[in-house]
Amino acid sequence: MRKTLWIIAFLVLAPSVRADSFQVISGSIVITGSGSSMLSGDGWTLNLNISLPGACPQDFLPGNPIEGCGPGSIAVIGFGTLILHGITQPSIAFDSFIDISQNPLVLSGQSQATLTEPATFGELVGCFALFFDQCPPATFADFSFPPGMLNISVTKDFSGDYEVTNEVYTFTTPETSSGILLLSGFGIFALLLRKRFA
């Protein structure tokens, strides 16, 4: 009996083992430029400090397509701070791969421009540890993305190449259902007013 009580107490008091999935609703990942990378979802916010080494070109020859990061499977290294329902969680380490794709953009003649292109992100996988190689089993967290947009600004430098001055991926989940409900509510209200004054 005493042994059973000890087991129950251990299970109650021991830290819970994590294997969490998070759906991104909005946010941004800053590759180049000012600002910080942050993602958010239902009841959580993730502040990111990550890099995608060698995957995001920072200059382009005139006439060549201008691309964002990738395409394909790209290494992601860094860490993040997750705030879940107002409580800061242990650090999340990232040292894995993510699939990123978008169509090449073509620029002709301008000395500077800002281009926008739909982009697709795969899952971003991390774990609750200071370093990825210290991850205990079943402590992984994966973040799924809605369709995103690549915003990239370029300026011609002194050598005639296009230099990337700002590059950001943004994510937004459209709230179509709330908009439809709001419009239908206005429609019913107008119909009631019309009936009342008819």
In 3D, which of 108, 95, 32, 35 has the Cα closest to residue 68? 32
User: 10-50: per-residue pLDDT in tens?
Assistant: 333 334 445 689 999 999 999 998 889 999 999 999 999 99
Rounded CA-CA distance 165/148 in Å is: 20
Give me the pLDDT at residue 178, please. Answer: 46
Q: pTM of this prediction?
A: 0.76
